Amino acid sequence: MEEKKVIFSGIQPTGTFTLGNYLGAVKNWGPLQEQYNCIYCVVDLHAITVRQDPAKLRQNTLNSYALLMACGIDVEKSVLFIQSHAPTHPMLSWVLSCCTQFGELSRMTQFKDKSQRHPDDVNAGLFTYPVLMAADILAYNADLVPVGIDQKQHLELARNIAQRFNQRYGDYFTVPDAYISEVGAKIMSLQEPTKKMSKSDENPNACILILDDKDTIIRKFKRAVTDSEAEVCCREGKDGINNLMTIYSIFTGRSFDEITSDFAGKGYGDFKLAVGEAVADGLEPVRTEFARLVQDKAYLKKCYTEGAEKALKISSRITSKVYHKVGFVDNR
Ligand code: TYM
């Protein structure tokens, strides 16, 4: 029998994910468990590249872990763990950083964006962030990495790093492919629909958080920026409506053509309300399951402890092999 391919992905511990995180990545992670060996991780090491309050980081990491479970990640089927529990990632990251060029890292658009947003803290971790991300993926020799479009550049870099290592030390790493869904890979801000939806947006109406209650979700959609026309259809220049159609289509399974005919002759107000209701109702089971799981601290601890054990088992083997290939003296 052919071995199952390995999937790896990670998410920052913001505590509650945005609708962009959910539709571009997390929602797809559950179904992949049936077909692949999936490894998912809450990336707390990455989080400290921007200043964090330690108590909040700890809480947000635990909440993010529970939220991934509430979104359908089954710890019996997948490896689900917290990044800082696997020191193999920074161990591998060091080796990979020596296979990464300064120029390559300087070209990363997220580095440029984040250093503009935090000019008083352009730390070395922010600069080498994509190397740690490459280590996350390569520590499991992952074949596929399900992410939204904004991570594509980081993934290209991970591929280059893997190829460079393989050239220097002999083929070892699988060169990972991005796995980007056709719809939902870039959910846009509700207030500035030419920008991606992001939790760091200053306007709280720009971003839906998946733990927002029903009223909040509907209110945010009602305030969504659209255009001065009145036709619900997908066309260039109608960024706001295109975005709402994408979101509605994912939650209802309706095609763009069907949505256009469903709302023919109706105003944007009706459409926005329908989108808000579809999203709020679609997320209801996630909210309920999260509220249940987050109470059960002992169970969560058992899950992330076992997840870390499984992650370490795989990544230690691969990291030891890499250390040997590089020429470090074996200590076993
Ligand atoms: P993060 O935490 O910013 O985002 C998690 C996932 O959500 C996707 N995403 C979006 N998709 C569609 N529309 C949006 N508006 C939107 N916003 C975010 C992201 O593309 C991502 O898939 N560096 C990563 C975390 C990471 C990682 C990894 C990912 C660390 N190591 C290894 C994959 C493999 C990040 O900050 O994602």
Per-residue pLDDT reduced to its tens digit, 55-64: 999 999 999 9
Q: Which of 77, 186, 199, 310 is catalytic?
A: 199
Arithmetic mean of pLDDT, 59-73: 98
Asked if residue 2 has pLDDT above 80, the reply is: no
Beta strand 79-82 with 37-42 is parallel
Active site residue 272: no
Per-residue model confidence as pLDDT tens digits over 135-178: 999 999 999 999 999 999 999 999 999 999 999 999 999 999 99
Strand partners, 40: 9, 80
Q: What gap in Å lies between CA 32 and CA 27, rounded to an integer?
A: 10
Under 8 Å CB-to-CB from 44, ≥6 apart: which residues? 13, 57, 61, 82, 83, 84
Determine the Cα–Cα distance for residues 105 and 118; give it in Å rounded to an integer.
17
Protein residue closest via CA to atom 19 of ligand 1: 148
Establish whether 5 is a catalytic residue. Answer: no
Contacts 24+ apart (CB under 8 A), 255-258: none
The H-assigned helical ranges of the chain are 19-21, 27-32, 44-47, 54-70, 88-97, 102-106, 109-117, 124-138, 152-169, 214-222, 239-252, 256-262, 268-295, 297-326
Q: Is 199 a catalytic residue?
A: yes
pLDDT of residue 257: 96
Confidence grade of residue 1 (pLDDT, cut at 50, 70, 90): low
Alpha carbons 69 and 73: distance in angstroms, whole number: 5
pLDDT digits (tens, 9 = 90+) for 11-44: 999 989 999 999 999 999 999 999 999 999 999 9
Q: 146-150, 302-306, 328-332 — which is least confidently predicted?
A: 328-332
Q: Which of 71, 151, 194, 243 is the pocket-test mutation for ligand 1 (most atoms within 8 Å of CB)? A: 151
CA-nearest residue for atom 29, ligand 1, is: 10
For 285-307, what is the mean pLDDT?
A: 98
**Whole-number Cα distances in Å, 35 to 29, 78, 181:** 11, 11, 16
Instruction: Provide residues with CB under 6 Å of ligand 1.
Output: 8-12, 20-21, 24-25, 43, 46, 133, 136-137, 145, 147-148, 150-151, 185-187, 196-197
- Ligand 1 atom nearest to CA at 146: 22
Residues 175-220 have pLDDT tens digits of: 999 999 999 999 999 999 999 999 988 899 999 999 999 999 999 9
What distance in angstroms lies between residue 257's CA and the mean position of ligand 1's atoms?
30
Between 202 and 82, the higher pLDDT residue: 82
